[in-house]
Amino acid sequence: MNIEKRIISKLHETLEKQNKERITTSDFAEATGLSRSVCSNYLNKLFKAELVQKTKNRPVEWYFSEVTGESDNNIDYFDNYIGKYGSQKDILANCIAAVKYPPKGLNILITGPSGTGKSYLAENIYEYTKNTHIISDSAKFLTLNCADYANNPELLSSVLFGYKKGAFTGAVSDYDGFLKNANGGILFLDEVHRLSGENQEKLFQFLDTGNFYPVGENTVLEHSEVRLIFATTENTDNTLLTTFMRRVPVHVRLLKYSERPLIERNELLEYLFLAEARRLNKSISIDEATWKWFLNKDFEGNVGKIKNEIRMMCAISYSQIAQNIKKIEIGPQKTHTIQIDVNANFLNNIELLNSFSFLVDKAIKKSDEIDTARNNLMECVQKNITCDLLDPIIYAETKAILEKNLHQKFGIKIQKYFSVLLAFMTLKNVILDTETLKKWQEILRTKCPRTMHIAKYATKSLQPDNQAAQLSLTIILAIMISDQTDENIGLQILLISHGSQTASSIQAVVNQLGGNYLVDAIDMPIDISINKIVESTLKLITEFQRMTGFILMIDMGSLSQLYNMISGELDSDLLVINNLTTATALDVALKVQSHQDFKEISKYAKENYTIESQYYSGFSQKKNIIISCMSGLGISEKIKDIMEPFMPEKIELNVLEYKDLKELIAGNEENYFANTIFILTTSSLPKKFAIPNLNVYDILDQSGKDFIHRVMNKYLSKKQLYSLDEELLRFFSLEGIAERLMFLNPNIIMNDVETIIFKYENYYEFNLDGKIKLNLYMHIALMIERLMSNRTRLSIDNVPLSAEAKEFYKVTKDIFKPIALKYNVVIDDYEISLLFEIFKLYIKKD
C-alpha cells in the first residue's frame, strides 16, 4: 500500500472511530501521532488528486464526498498508465466520472493525433470498470474500426447494428451486430470520423434510449446496455454532426508525445524498452545519445511510431548476437548507458519510490548526531534504492551537477549514493517534516557552517522553485558531506576576478589540489563597481559566524578603498591582496589549510606578492551599449540577452545597476563614455548629459524605434533592426501578459496572438506600431482566457454594420478559427465588435 492509500485508510479509520464526518489537520495529527505539517502536506496532495475534500473555513476541515469516499475512485487502478498523476490525471478523472455516472455511464470521445494511445486508454477504462465492478467480469470489450468500412457505409451499418435474414443479397441468416454482442460491456468505435452522416443519425436513437433497429427490421427494436467509447484523429467540428456531438458529453484529448512532460516521456521509453526486453528475454543497454534522441524527437506517429522504432532497433541488435548472450546493445555504448533489466518490475519501482520519502525522513529524524544520521542515510539508500529504479536522465543530470558544484568547485569527493539519493528527492519532490528541517538547520548552522555553505551552493539548481524542497536537499547533502569538510579552518578566503569564469576556475584548481573546501570565488563583469564587490563580499561573510580572519584576493582594484569599506563591517581581521593568480591563491590556501596564523600569512603576503596596477582610460575600450533599468539587473539582463544575437563582435553590451550608472555619470567627465553608442535605461538621465540615451518603454513608440534605427543603422542592417524591434516588443508584451494571466502559458498564447496579428497585417496590408501591438497582445490573450473560464455570452445592440465592419467580422471569424478550436472557445459578435473598435482606425476604406 502506497503513502496516499495509507493516509486515506487512516483518515477513514479516524473519522469512523471519532464518529465524525469532518476533522481538522491538528486533530488528525494527534490521532495519527504524526506532525501537523506532515499531515497537512499529504492531505493537500490528496485534495489536489481529488481524493479528499476540504472546507473553506478556518481551521480547515477534511472530509470525504460521496464520490471520493469510495475506495474504487482511485486512479491507482490504472496500473501501468504513465502520467496518471501528471498530465493524464484530469483525463482519467473525467473518464472515471463518465463510466460511474448512473445508470449506465456517459459516452466518451477520445481525440488526439495518431499513436497517442486512444485505444490503450479505452482498454484501461474497460479494465477499470471490471475491477471496480461497474460491469461484470464476463463483460466484453469489442473494437470496431470504422476506417475498415469507410468506402462501404451500408456494410458498416450492418456490422454495427446487425441485420435480419434477407435484408440484402447474401444475408442468409440473422446476424447480431457489435451493439448487441457488446451488451453489458464496452464497444470502442475507433476512427469514428469515418462514420457516415447517415450512420451517425442511425446511432441517435441508440445513444438516447439504448434501442436500435437491425438492418432490414423496421418494427421490432433491439436493446443493448453497452457503453460507447469513440476515438478520432480528426477535427470533430468538420467530421461529426453537431447533433451527434451533443450526445457525447465527455470529450478528452490526448497529448502528442512531444507535448508530454519529460519525466513521462522517459517512463514511456522505459516501459516500451522493458516490453521488448521481456519479448526477447534479454536485458537491453541503450547509449545516452540514442535515449536522448528518443526523448526529444517529435515523432509523427507518436508512441505508436516510437514502439516500431524501438522494436526495429532491438530486432537489428538481436539478429547480430549469439543466443547465449543475455544482453543486447543499442548504440555505440561509448558514453553513459541506460540499462533495462529483463527482470525489472515497472510497478514495484514506482511503489518503492512513493514510499521511500518516509525512509529518508526517518533516517535523520530521531538522531541529533551528524555521523549517525549520515550512516542511516547511506544504509537507507543501499538497502532500498539503486540507479536502475531512477529516471536515468534526472539521475545523470543530478550526478553532473554534483560533479561540477561539489568536486570541481569545492574539491569534495562524490560518492555514488549522493547522486542516487538527491536524484530521488528531486524526482519525487521530497520535503522533510517541518520539525526535522528546523532541528537539522540549527544543528548544521551551529556545528557545520562551512558544510552548509557548500551544500546550499551545490543544490541551488536542483529545486530552484520550491524553497522547502530546496532546503531539504541542502540539509541532506550537508549531512552526507560533513565528514569531508574541515570545520576547524578559521580563515575565510574569497577570490574576486573580473571575467565570466576566471575566479571560479582558480577556485576549482585550488580546492581540488587542496582536497578540501579552502576558497570561495566571485566572478565579476569588467565594469563592476567597488560597491558591488563590497556588497557581494559582505553577503558571503554573513554566512560564517566563527571566522577569525578574512582574506580577500582580487586581480585589480583599490586596496585601501576595499579595506576601509569591508573592515568596518567585520568583527575579525581582514587582509586584501591585489595579486590574484592560481599560484598565489594556492599558496595562501595551503597556508590556511595548515592553520597558519593570520599575522604570519599577512606578513608573508606583504613581502612576496607585489604587482604593478594596470588601468585603461574610459568606461570601455570597445564600442558599447549600456543597459541600466531601475527595476534591477533581471530586466536589464533579459534585454541584453535579446539584443546580443544582433550585435556585431565589435560592440559589447554592458549591464549596470542604475545607482552604479548614476555614480559613473556623476564622477566622470563625458569623454569617459566616448565609446558608448547609447544608454538604454528606465529613468531620465541628467539633461546636461549629452551621450544618446533612450527610456526603455519608449521602444514601444515610433519615436523610440526611430531612435534605435538612427543610432544603430551603421552597425545593423534594416532586416536586423526590424527583427530587433519585434523581439523587444515581444519581450515587453510577454512580461505584461505573464503578470495578468491566471492559467494560460504566456509563451504559448503569445505565439498564437502573434499569428493572429500577422494575419490581420497581411490581409489589410498595414504595419501596426509597438504600442498598438502591445494593446492587441494584452486584449486577445486576456479575451481567450476570459472566454475559457466564463462561458456567458454578451450580446450587442442590433445595429446595422458598415461594409468595413461586415468584412472585418467575416475575416476575424476565419482568422480566429484555429485558435477557437485549440482553446475550445467561441469568438462571438460582441468580442469581434471590441476588436473592430481597435482596428477600425487602421483599416483603409476603399
What's the helix, strand, coil split of the chain in %, to 5?
Answer: 55, 10, 35
Question: Is the pLDDT at 396 greater than 90, yes or no?
Answer: no
Q: What mean pLDDT comes out for the span 508-518?
A: 87
What's the distance, Cα to Cα, between the start and end of the chain in Å?
Answer: 73
Of the chain, the percentage scoring pLDDT greater than 70 comes to: 85
Q: 152 pairs with which residues across the strands?
A: none
Q: Give the integer Cα–Cα distance in Å for 27 and 25.
A: 6
pLDDT, tens digit (0-9, with 9 covering 90-100), for 122-137: 999 999 898 888 898 8
The continuous run of DSSP H or E covering 634 comes out as helix 633-643
* Assigned CATH topology for domain 3-63: Arc Repressor Mutant, subunit A (1.10.10)
Query: Which of 70 and 637 is assigned the larger pLDDT?
Result: 637
pLDDT of residue 632: 54
Q: For domain 623-722, give its CATH number from 3.40.1280.10, 2.40.50.140, 3.40.50.2300, 3.40.50.880.
A: 3.40.50.2300
Q: Which residue has the higher pLDDT, 692 or 773?
A: 692
Can you give the three-state secondary structure of 811-824, one letter per residue?
HHHHHHHHHHHHHC
**495 vs 13 pLDDT, higher one:** 495
Give the CATH architecture of domain 261-344.
Answer: Orthogonal Bundle (1.10)
pLDDT in tens, 752-770: 888 998 899 888 888 887 6
The predicted model scores a pTM of 0.41
Please report the pLDDT score of residue 657 as a whole number. Answer: 77
> What is the CATH architecture of 491-608?
3-Layer(aba) Sandwich (3.40)
Q: What is the Cα gyration radius of the chain?
A: 34
Average pLDDT of the residues in 785-805: 69
Average pLDDT over residues 524-541: 76
Task: For 157-211, write each residue's pLDDT tens digit.
Answer: 999 999 988 888 888 898 999 999 999 999 999 999 888 888 888 888 888 889 9
Residue 768, SS3? coil
Q: Is the CB of residue 162 less than 8 Å from the CB of residue 212?
A: no
Mean pLDDT across the chain, nearest whole number? 81
Q: Which three cell numbers stand for residue 5?
A: 492509500
Mean pLDDT of all residues in 88-113: 89
pLDDT above 90 covers what percent of the chain? 15
CATH superfamily of 86-255: P-loop containing nucleotide triphosphate hydrolases (3.40.50.300)
- Cβ neighbours of 681 (radius 10 Å): 21
Cβ neighbours of residue 2 under 8 Å, at least 6 residues apart?
76, 351, 354, 355
Q: Is 737 helix (H, G, I), strand (E, B) or coil?
A: helix
